[in-house]
Amino acid sequence: MPKNQAVTPQADELREAVAAGFPVSVADLSGLVRIPSVSWDGFDHSHVEASAREVKRLAEGTGVFDEVDIVQVPIAEGARLGLPAVIATRKARNGRPTILLYAHHDVQPEGEEEVWNSAPFEPTLRGDRLYGRGAADDKAGVMAHIAAIRALVAVAGENLDVGLVLFVEGEEEFGSRSLHEILRRYQDRLSSDVIVVADSGNWDLDTPALTIALRGAVAFNLRITTLDHASHSGMFGGAVPDAPLVAIELLSTFWKKDGSVAIEGLTSHDEETPEYDEEKLREETGLLDGVAPIGKGAILSRLWYQPSITVTGMDIPNIRNASNTLVPSVRVRVSARVAPGQTWQDAFAAIEAHILSHVPHGAHVTIEDLDSGNPFLVDTSGWAAADAMETFEEAWGTEAVEIGAGGSIPFIADLVEMFPKAQILITGVEDPDSRPHSPNESLHLPTFRRAILSEAFLLARLNART
């Protein structure tokens, strides 16, 4: 392979094509946001089917694919079906590489609607931002791919030689349960030289980023039981431990005084991080005056390269039902992030050992409903990463930065396992204020436009690469 070209071929024409197509891209994105394609159990999955059909229609509309299919496979051999994904493929010609463009068309639940400033599934423009569930994560990723392909088609015309695979998953927000089976069954069709995962974010509104590190995740329910029935807390309180007492005591052993993780055996990754001060952390998270940050070391190393552990839910009587009772059993959802360099299995073993050796008063504990994913470090030594960094700079007019992500994209480890030779690029349309998964999720439209342009540039470079 030759060294990178200094500039993208037909860059000016691509800029014009992206600009001309942008209003339609935003309208198509709005159409996707209107479909409440929540992939979680207990939600109406006919909406996920509808969004798969819409993605298929958009893929067909580009006119470049030889085959466009909705695929739905069991989550494992002989098990129930997963949710529908879309695979569209076009074979490479004249020795050009093939690029796989990944995004997902399912979304997280909208949560409490009253906290939204506009209806979650009614795309709403305020200032430069389009609000709505999925407006950023990850329907904008889907549309960035479609819009970049449209621009390339408009400019390359007959000379479209790059191989294209569009792969839009339908259950990323619910653990990508059938993904492994999709990759296995469609391995040939999905096979590619470069994989772009458009499901991450940018440094800020002016600075593009390539995501090079992701933390892994381990989450589980912890059931704590001390009594076989509830008793009057006045009659027996003080002589037998109730479950909340044990839970509070046990959970408090997870953290040191400074809030960093106190579980022995969880490891950190040693890597420099960009400058990021406490003020920025306060601004981006809404940390209240007087409330101190937690952890130690550079702030970004806490977010990208150190483990963390969070309690994300509890089943315990609510205050309305709080009678004077010793509560016999509680459930706690524990969600931990695993630093790059440690497997989730290793991290889970450390957490489990910690729990079992710290249970107070001999209470009964069980661990249930384990979800997991491995952390990932991207190999940035290949030509695709260099091309991506250059096209970012060309499209944004600012040098791109390499970033880690505190969150996890567990399926990336699956992709790497299935396609070990492919170069992986993790890009995205989000910015620090996009609030994916939260109320008032939004997409910054100028960032969206630059993300489309970067990807169109990348496709044009691959289309010329021999």
Contact set with Zn ion (CB under 5 A)? 137-138, 199
Report the phi/psi class of residue 361: left, alpha or beta, with left for phi > 0 and alpha for psi in -120 to 50. left
β-pairing, 163-169 vs 85-90, is antiparallel
Tell me the closest approach of the beta carbon of residue 106 to Zn ion, in angstroms.
9
List the one residue out of 199, 220, 169, 183 whose CA is nearest residue 344.
220
Torsion angle defined by CA atoms of residues 30, 34, 39 and 44, in that order, rounded to the nearest 10 degrees = -170
Helix (H/G/I), strand (E/B), else coil: 19: helix
Tell me the closest approach of the beta carbon of residue 138 to Zn ion, in angstroms.
4
CA distance 12 to 25: 19
CA distance 39 to 306: 30
Please check whether residue 424 is in contact with residue 198, taking contact to mean a CB–CB distance below 8 angstroms: no
CB of 105 or CB of 461, closer to Zn ion: 105
Please check whether residue 388 is in contact with residue 197, taking contact to mean a CB–CB distance below 8 angstroms: no
Tell me the closest approach of the beta carbon of residue 108 to Zn ion, in angstroms.
8
Tell me the closest approach of the beta carbon of residue 354 to Zn ion, in angstroms.
30
CB of 54 or CB of 441, closer to Zn ion: 441
- Nearest-5° Cα angle at 349, 347 to 351: 70
Tell me the closest approach of the beta carbon of residue 326 to Zn ion, in angstroms.
42
By beta-carbon distance, which residue lies closest to Zn ion? 138
Question: How is residue 193 written in tokens?
Answer: 């030289």
CB of 247 or CB of 412, closer to Zn ion: 412
CB of 172 or CB of 193, closer to Zn ion: 172
CB of 137 or CB of 394, closer to Zn ion: 137
Tell me the closest approach of the beta carbon of residue 158 to Zn ion, in angstroms.
35
CB of 55 or CB of 243, closer to Zn ion: 55
Tell me the closest approach of the beta carbon of residue 356 to Zn ion, in angstroms.
34
CB of 242 or CB of 455, closer to Zn ion: 455
In the chain, what is the greatest distance between 2 CA atoms, to the nearest angstrom? 84
CB of 137 or CB of 242, closer to Zn ion: 137
Tell me the closest approach of the beta carbon of residue 222 to Zn ion, in angstroms.
27
How many residues does the structure list for the chain? 466
Beta-carbon contacts of residue 247 (< 8 Å; ≥ 6 apart): 222, 224, 314, 316, 330, 332
Beta-carbon contacts of residue 51 (< 8 Å; ≥ 6 apart): 32, 35, 37, 105, 106, 170
